[in-house]
Structure 1
C-alpha cells in the first residue's frame, strides 16, 4: 500500500481551449473536474495501476466533500482530516498547442489542532504502508518545518518517505534525510541557488541535495527526461512522446510509477519515465492506466549525457 499525504488538496477544473486571448470570450472544447493536489494525483496514478492506496488530506466545505466523492469513485481510500475552511478550487486552461495556464487558490488556513490531527492521521494510516508520499505546497497555518517533522516521525516508525515539495519546506526537510525527493528542474535550481543549463548541471545539483540529506533524488527535467541520483549510482531516462496534451500531474504520475516499481534503481526510473510520458499525452490530469504505458519507448542509461543542453534551461 502507498500512503499519500496532501496538506493542501484542491478541486481542479480543467478547460481545453483553442488559444488563450486576454479580454475575449473563450469557448472551451472540453472540460474535466478532478480531485487535485500532488499527493492526490499520486494516489490516482497508483489506483489506475490497480494498486492499493490511501490518501490522507484535510477536507472542508462543499469542495472538500466533492473531492472525497471523486476519489471514492476512483477506488481510492480516503482518510479525511476535517477542517473548518473550505478546500480550494483551482482552474487550469489547456491550449491546443500544449501550453497550460493554471490559477491556484491559496486554500484554507489550518489551526494548531488541525495540524496535529493531520500528523496523527498519517501515523494511524501508515502501519501498512510500503511508502509514504508527502507532496505539494503547505497550506497557511503550517510552518516550513512541518514536512521535516512528518519525515522524522515517519522514520521513527520505520516508514519510507518520498517527498515532493519545494522552497523552504524542501530545504528544512532535507535534514531529516527523506528516502527520495522529487524536484523538477526549476525546484532543483531553486534549491541549489543557481541556473541549470545542461543535464550535467542537473546531476551536480542533485548530488548537492544528497549532500544536504536526501538519500536519493528523482529529478524531472521536462521534455529532456528524468534523472535518478542515489547512493547506488546515477541514471538518465527519457522516452518518445508523440504529442503533448497536458502536463498536469505528469510529475505526480512519474513519482507513482517510481514507487510502484519499488522506489530505487534503474527499473524504478524506467517506470517513472513511462508513467510521466503517458500522462502528458492524456487530457487534463487524467492518470495513465497500464494500457497507456509504452515501456518500449523508454531508454535508461548510466552513461549520463552531461554536456547535453536542456531544452528548457532554468535561469
Structure 2
C-alpha cells in the first residue's frame, strides 16, 4: 500500500494550441481536457494504474466540481470534508511541448480542518509501505504542517510506520528537512539549490555538480534524495551510494505531472525490492511516459517508453 497526501488539490485544465503561445493575441486551441490533479493525487493515479494498492488523502468539499473529476480516476481516496473548492490550474501547451502554467493558490484550511487531515493520514497509514506527501500547502497553513504529519504518523505507528517521501518546495521543504527526517525527498535542481543555499552551476558538469550539494543533506538530514533534472535526467543519492540516469528519447507533449510520475515509478520499484539503480531507472521511465501524454495523465506500465535509460554510478 502506498498512501498519498495532497493538501492542496487542483483541478487541472489543459489547453493544447496549434501554434506557439503568442501573449496578447487571440489563438485557436486544438483541444482541452480536465483532470483531477495535485501532486499526491498524481502519484496515487500512477500507483493505481500499476494495480498496486493506494489510498489518496485530501481535503475536499463534497459540492466541489473536483469531486466528479476525482471519481473519474477511480483512485481509492479518503476525502476530508472542508469548506471551499479546490484550486484550478491552467496549463497551455504547444506543438513543441513548451508548457505554460497558471496556478491558483487554493482554499485556506482552518486549524480544525488541518487536524482532521492529519488524523485521516495517520489512520490510512496502517500497514502502508510508503506515505508520499506531495505538493504545495494551501494558503494560511503553517510551513511546518508536513512535519506535523510526519511526527503524528511515526508517533502512532512507531517501528511499523511507513517510510515517508516528500515532494514539496520552499519553506515547507526546508521545515521537513530541518525537523522531519524524511526517508526520501524529490526536489528538482532549482529546489535543491534553494534548500541548501548552494548554487548548482549549469553546463556539461551539471549532473556531477548535483552530488556534493545533495550530500549536504544525505544522510544527515534525509535518508535519500531523488533530484530530477528535467530532460537531463535525475540523480539518486542514498547513504550507500549515488547514481545518475538520463531518460530515453521521447516526443514531449506536456511536462505537467512528469515529476510526480517519476516519484511514483521510484516507489513502485522500491516496493518490488529493486536496487537503487533500478529504482532510478524506473523513475526515469515513468517520468518520460508522463511527459509524452497530454494533460495530467497517469501512465500505465504498458505506456512506458521502450528506449534505454542510461544509469551510471557516481563517485
1:264-315 per-residue CA deviation (whole Å, 9 max, x = no partner) reads: 61111111011011111111111211111135511211146xxxxxxxxxxx
Residue 286 of structure 2: aligned partner:
275
- Unpaired segments ≥5 residues, structure 1: 305-315
Does the aligned pair in 2 maintain the 1:154–1:161 contact within 8 Å? no
Residue 40 of structure 2: aligned partner:
39
Quote the Cα distance in structure 2 between the aligned partners of 1:234 and 1:57: 33
SS of 2:216's equivalent in the other structure is helix
Residue 168 of structure 2: aligned partner:
165
Does the aligned pair in 1 maintain the 2:129–2:162 contact within 8 Å? yes
Residue 313 of structure 1: aligned partner:
none
Give the length in aligned residue pairs: 302
Quote the Cα distance in structure 1 between the aligned partners of 2:307 and 2:25: 43
Quote the Cα distance in structure 1 between the aligned partners of 2:174 and 2:219: 12
Residue 9 of structure 2: aligned partner:
9
Deviation at residue 61 of structure 1 after TM alignment: 6.2
Does the aligned pair in 1 maintain the 2:14–2:34 contact within 8 Å? yes
Deviation at residue 9 of structure 1 after TM alignment: 0.3
Normalising to structure 2: TM-score of the pair?
0.92
SS of 2:242's equivalent in the other structure is strand
Residue 308 of structure 1: aligned partner:
none
1:199-252 per-residue CA deviation (whole Å, 9 max, x = no partner) reads: 122111211122551110001011111111011210111122231111000000
Is the counterpart of residue 250 in structure 1 residue 238 in structure 2?
no
Normalising to structure 1: TM-score of the pair?
0.92
Deviation at residue 255 of structure 1 after TM alignment: 0.3
Q: Which segment is superposed worse, 219-228 or 209-218?
A: 209-218
Is the counterpart of residue 291 in structure 1 residue 299 in structure 2?
no
Is the counterpart of residue 301 in structure 1 residue 312 in structure 2?
yes
- Unpaired segments ≥5 residues, structure 2: none
Quote the Cα distance in structure 1 between the aligned partners of 2:208 and 2:240: 18
Quote the Cα distance in structure 2 between the aligned partners of 1:86 and 1:294: 36
Quote the Cα distance in structure 2 between the aligned partners of 1:209 and 1:149: 20
SS of 2:217's equivalent in the other structure is helix
Quote the Cα distance in structure 1 between the aligned partners of 2:220 and 2:137: 21
Residues 90 and 19 of structure 1, relative CA distance in 2, 3 Å threshold: same
Residue 89 of structure 1: aligned partner:
88
Out of 179, 185, 193, the position equivalent to 1:181 is 185
Out of 189, 195, 217, the position equivalent to 1:191 is 195
Residue 307 of structure 1: aligned partner:
none
SS of 2:14's equivalent in the other structure is strand
Residue 265 of structure 1: aligned partner:
276
Does the aligned pair in 1 maintain the 2:290–2:297 contact within 8 Å? yes
Quote the Cα distance in structure 1 between the aligned partners of 2:276 and 2:150: 22
SS of 1:196's equivalent in the other structure is coil
SS of 2:283's equivalent in the other structure is helix
Instruction: Give the aligned CA root-mean-square deviation in angstroms.
Output: 1.6
Quote the Cα distance in structure 1 between the aligned partners of 2:139 and 2:72: 29
SS of 2:126's equivalent in the other structure is helix
Does the aligned pair in 2 maintain the 1:72–1:78 contact within 8 Å? no
